[in-house]
Amino acid sequence: MGMLHTMPLRHSTSLANLTTQKDDCSQPTGAGGPMQASPLLKAYGAGMGGDGHNYTEDCLGINIWTKPQTGEKAKAVLFWIHGGGFSSGNANAPFMDGARYANDEDVVLVSIHYRLNILGFPNAPGLKEQNLGLLDQRLAVEWVRDNIANFGGDPKRITIFGESAGGGAVDMFAYAWTADPIIAGIIAQSGAAGSMPPSGNGKTPNSAWYAVSKAMGCGGAEAGEKTVECMRGKPTDLIMKELDRQTTGPGITPFGPVADGKLVFKDVAQRGDAGNFIKVPLLVGNTDHESGLTTAIAAAAGGKNPFSSGSSGPGAAMMGGTNASASAIPSGLAAMLPKDFNPMNIMDSLMSCGSGTAASVRIKNNIPAWRFRYHGDFNNTSLGPGTGAYHSSDVPAVFGTTELRTGNVKDTPEEAQIIKEIMRAWATFAKDPAKGLTSLGWPIYDAKKDTLIRIGYNNQPGLNLAPATQYDQVCGMMKSMMGMMGI
């Protein structure tokens, strides 16, 4: 399997077809699950994997969209890391196509695949590295630095951006690679290092590893490091099927970034306060109704939150899973919660508070930071009544591909204008991370002033500002609750 199962291709002089995208990285498909129960969710799930996708362990690849014959000779680079709870997802979904970006905004758009779930974050006994997926991301950034000039890109202006797990990954990158940053800016959408709890401590193997190894006939904890060599001999597709059997949350497994003290840290808050991160400008934010995605999935699952049992790790916690279930909330804090508190809505607060913290840390260290909140709720991206601006609904808006999200419904005039504004903002940030957004009238973040940029508020284009305190009232309680829950 992934740790050393597929040997990398060394230098080759033979011709290669670089006009097709790499297959998705191996992942559980969730076949027959709630993501397949609703036509809207099935269309949405195309970005996470599922039916009709080809999977392989030999999946590492880079997509590049560029238009070198026009505009700047050395263009700013937007480097995309997809989401999926570090368990699923891909960079090939039509709504993450970078052609419009390269054509309209005079940038080079790059997206990548990285190893996922048990192959990318095994937390297995005896392995030197447990965060292989994050190392894949770093290797891709290094490759872009060394080669993007050949595609019309400027290696000195690389902005990494991502959503959900991708948003967390770009912020983790800032804490991991201080000695050799490479990047010039960071855009984190619905994810931050402090809002994604590690799935392990780097010392004790994940019990989920042993559960899978035992089911695959390799023994459990009693077999220790022998399980790794045995698992390497098992077909990857059978391992993924076993993950499907052991996981109730669609596409979310207990395997994710491990707090190894090198790439992922338990003390992110302390490191942030001390300024121990890459000091480049940050644009960070989230959607207005993150938990709308959970609402849609729960509705498709007959009203039950499929993340509420049998799932753990960073993905499940974000989605309102085991670590966020009502029974897991300490009684002392439960008394502090509103009577109508729904654990499924923990995702809203987790993402919003994480965005605020990430922005505040930069401001404290005199680094420019901007904070946004995406409100767009349109027919061609909606997952049903009550889902609103759900988790990841901003992704097709950022790529200008909303008409491809859940069908081919045309953008409304207002939606089309909002898309132009958000694409221009992201590209402007990449071209000049320190001052670009200021030129658009976007104020640098100040938690005490009206500096939260609301994008698509009431489905209308144009600049709309609000105080962050309007959305951050529960952040103190959330911080205490997450600490007591060990998240």
Q: What average pLDDT does the segment 118-137 reach?
A: 96
Q: Are the C-beta atoms of residues 368 and 159 closer than 8 Å to each other?
A: no
Stronger pLDDT, 242 or 50, i.e. the higher one? 242
Rounded CA-CA distance 170/192 in Å is: 8
Task: Cite the active site residues.
Answer: 164, 290, 391
Q: Max Cα separation, the chain? A: 66
Structure confidence at residue 302 as a pLDDT band (50, 70, 90): low
Does the predicted TM-score (pTM) go above 0.85? yes
Q: Among 314, 173, 327, 341, which Cα is nearest to 254's? A: 314
Q: What average pLDDT does the segment 15-25 reach?
A: 85
Q: What is the pLDDT of residue 429?
A: 99
Give 53: exposed, middle or buried? Use CB within 10 Å, 0-12, 13-18, 19+: middle
Long-range pairs for 265-272: beta carbons < 8 A, 24 or more residues apart: 265/175, 265/193, 266/198, 266/201, 268/175, 268/193, 268/194, 269/194, 269/357, 271/175, 272/175, 272/194, 272/357, 272/358, 272/361, 272/364
Q: State which amino acid sits at residue 221.
A: A
- Proportion of the chain above pLDDT 90, given as a percent: 67
DSSP letter string over 142-162? HHHHHHGGGGTEEEEEEEEEE
Does 396 have pLDDT greater than 70? yes
Structure tokens at 146: 């060394």
Does 323 have pLDDT greater than 50? no
In the chain, DSSP finds a helix count (H) and a strand count (E) of 17, 11
Q: Among 405, 410, 369, 375, which Cα is nearest to 390's? A: 375
User: Is the four-CA dihedral 262, 264, 267, 271 of positive or negative sign?
Assistant: positive
Of 78-82, 99-103, 180-184, 483-487, where does mean pLDDT reach its minimum?
483-487
Rounded CA-CA distance 377/397 in Å is: 11
Rounded CA-CA distance 323/130 in Å is: 22
Of 19-28, 208-217, 334-343, 469-478, where does mean pLDDT reach its minimum?
334-343
DSSP letter string over 16-58? ---SSPPPEEP----TTSGGGTSHHHHHHGGGT--TT--EES-
Q: Among 201, 313, 320, which Cα is nearest to 267's? A: 201
Question: How far, in Å, are 50, 53, 246 from residue 32 at the CA level?
Answer: 10, 15, 14
Q: What average pLDDT does the segment 467-474 reach?
A: 91
Residue 97: count of CB within 10 angstroms of its CB: 21
Q: What average pLDDT does the segment 95-102 reach?
A: 95
Instruction: Count the alpha carbons within 13 Å of 7 in the hemisphere toward its beta carbon.
Output: 2
Which residues lie across from 453 on neighbouring strands? 372, 465
Question: Reduced to 3 states, what is the DSSP secondary structure of residue 295?
Answer: helix
Structure confidence at residue 308 as a pLDDT band (50, 70, 90): very low
Structure confidence at residue 20 as a pLDDT band (50, 70, 90): confident
pLDDT digits (tens, 9 = 90+) for 215-273: 999 999 999 999 999 999 999 999 999 998 887 555 567 899 999 999 999 999 999 99
Structure confidence at residue 32 as a pLDDT band (50, 70, 90): very low
Structure tokens at 307: 């993340």
Q: State which amino acid sits at residue 145.
A: R
Question: Reduced to 3 states, what is the DSSP secondary structure of residue 370?
Answer: strand
Q: What is the set of domains in the chain, with CATH numbers?
A: 24-484 (3.40.50.1820)
Mean pLDDT of all residues in the chain? 86
Structure confidence at residue 52 as a pLDDT band (50, 70, 90): low
Stronger pLDDT, 360 or 33, i.e. the higher one? 360
- Proportion of the chain above pLDDT 70, given as a percent: 81
Q: What average pLDDT does the segment 74-91 reach?
A: 95
Q: What is the pLDDT of residue 459?
A: 98
Does 176 have pLDDT greater than 60? yes
Does 50 have pLDDT greater than 60? no
Q: What is the pLDDT of residue 15?
A: 81
Structure tokens at 350: 């987790």
